[in-house]
Structure 1
């Protein structure tokens, strides 16, 4: 039997590649970092822009043609014809949690290739980002920064998270962790998930559980709204003019899901009018966020460049998921985090 060939298509440390090789001595790992863009920061999996030579491009295509397993991203130029360029590919372990919408758009859901995600890997850093943002608002970091810039000392009064209500739209693994952190801070926490029948709210770390159709009552009572639902036909444009108007005056919107979930122009108007107290966004409708976007100019808008999930532990955790799944794959057992090609998560 020929060895299973694994193409690794992102920047990863050699010691972690050794862990992959250690799963089974017959494995063949294909990895050439010269085919990737130069890393711009720790755990920059994609690397910066790169112009490969014709020889490098040919080498990449040769490795894609040989691969039984892809650990990493499908190179962008080849995504729309995945079966052509990866003729022997059986399984792709993605470093991303939210690949469903892209998989459908690129036609991957119509193939026999199995796709697994990094679902759950980003729960801690994303929950910490939400906690940071909420604390910055209740402790009025923005006033402190302004006063520091003025070198002005004047006592003031803030508030506490335990007096606030947190609404989590999407109680998957990340959403449940955001809810848990909110509960730890003494907040009232409400949330929504796709299937609610027979689900005990406490089992998903909330006081009250809503279905997706019950978005309005959640928005009405929340001081902080965290978006962390998967991208789908149902969630694209989920938060628009009407939904923002329903939110409490002074409430804060935190988006760690996808930029497509929010009508950005409506968000800008809600901030300009003062109806919203602020926002924290890790994603935008167009990325990178254009320099001319009004969002840059709001003092009470926190902007993260789609980096809230990226931590120095990311590749370590991703390799643990992959190695576990690799053992399952070799044994013929079900894989973790298998993408449902109908539900798209």
Structure 2
């Protein structure tokens, strides 16, 4: 129990991924109950992921350059419908990503924890963290929507990045350390990846000297993709519902599991 708040027994977080915060502050060793804001950010993050994939699939970086140069040239782009994406993490955010992409005519594959069974609307195939590599060459986009845990830290390393197709798109709406950032930079520099749409990074704020800032095949978002005008209302609804539950002795929503890290 924190010495400066001896009567504190419950904390309602304002985000879904609080594992790093709980560990970093030492609160993981306390008896405090934590509840997360899971469910509040699924829609805006799914929309951001869709925007990022469409940005590269429809060739917007090239169109932007041509517009600046006043250049007019007929060209061909890819179609999102009929493509295939892999969503890593099948919690609330991953499920919303899968739902949105499936509505766009995209085949969605998922990746979840080993030993668990998943039935997710819009997902046609599910792999585990132990065997998803074999499917990486078959996807057009890899969308990371998982919490940062022992399973996912460094999950997308140089070896797995090399398994992706040269025109594949990587979207990270999870946590920065899920990706080996140096390996990602090299893959983008060498043209081994079509593009990256990143809302999270290994160090935040993103250091001024990071090469990601100046890469035409990268979208840099300052960990704000989930911040929308309706966010506070959603989080307040979760808090007030949990407060009623706590006062009435009912189970709380979105209980944080120290064992799982989310």
Q: TM-score, normalised by structure 1?
A: 0.74
Runs of 4+ in 1 over 6 A off after TM superposition: none
**Aligned twin of 1:339:** 256
Equivalent pair of 1:171/1:204 in contact (CA under 8 Å)? no
Alignment of 1:167-182 (within 5 A): 167-182=86-101
Report the structure, 1 or 2, having the larger helix content.
Answer: 1
The DSSP-based 3-state class of the residue aligned with 1:315 is helix
My pick for the range that moved more, 205-214 or 105-114, is 105-114
**Aligned twin of 2:155:** 238
Instruction: Rate the CA distance shift 1:314–1:291 in 2: closer, same or farther, 3 A.
Output: same
Equivalent pair of 2:114/2:130 in contact (CA under 8 Å)? no
Task: Please report how far the alpha carbon of residue 249 of structure 1 lies from its aligned counterpart in structure 2 after TM superposition.
Answer: 1.8
**Structure 2 residue 35 is the aligned partner of structure 1 residue 116:** yes
**Structure 2 residue 132 is the aligned partner of structure 1 residue 211:** no
Q: CA RMSD in A?
A: 1.3
Equivalent pair of 1:191/1:218 in contact (CA under 8 Å)? no
Paired residues, what number? 262
Task: Please report how far the alpha carbon of residue 163 of structure 1 lies from its aligned counterpart in structure 2 after TM superposition.
Answer: 2.9
Equivalent pair of 1:169/1:175 in contact (CA under 8 Å)? yes
Residue of structure 2 aligned with 1:106, choices 25, 42, 45: 25
Alignment of 1:51-200 (within 5 A): 83-194=2-113, 197-200=116-119
Equivalent pair of 1:196/1:210 in contact (CA under 8 Å)? no
Q: TM-score, normalised by structure 2?
A: 0.96
Q: More relative contact order in 1 or in 2 (CA 8 Å, sep 6+)?
A: 2
Task: Give the distance between the partners of 1:220 and 1:144, measured in 2 at CA.
Answer: 27
Task: Give the distance between the partners of 1:325 and 1:284, measured in 2 at CA.
Answer: 31
Task: Give the distance between the partners of 2:204 and 2:117, measured in 1 at CA.
Answer: 39
Cα displacement string for residues 148-191 of structure 1 (whole angstroms, at most 9, x for unaligned residues): 10112222111211131100000110001101111111111101
Residue of structure 1 aligned with 2:220, choices 295, 303, 317: 303
Task: Give the distance between the partners of 1:300 and 1:270, measured in 2 at CA.
Answer: 11
Task: Give the distance between the partners of 2:132 and 2:170, measured in 1 at CA.
Answer: 14
Unaligned runs of 5+ in 2: none
Task: Give the distance between the partners of 1:117 and 1:237, measured in 2 at CA.
Answer: 24
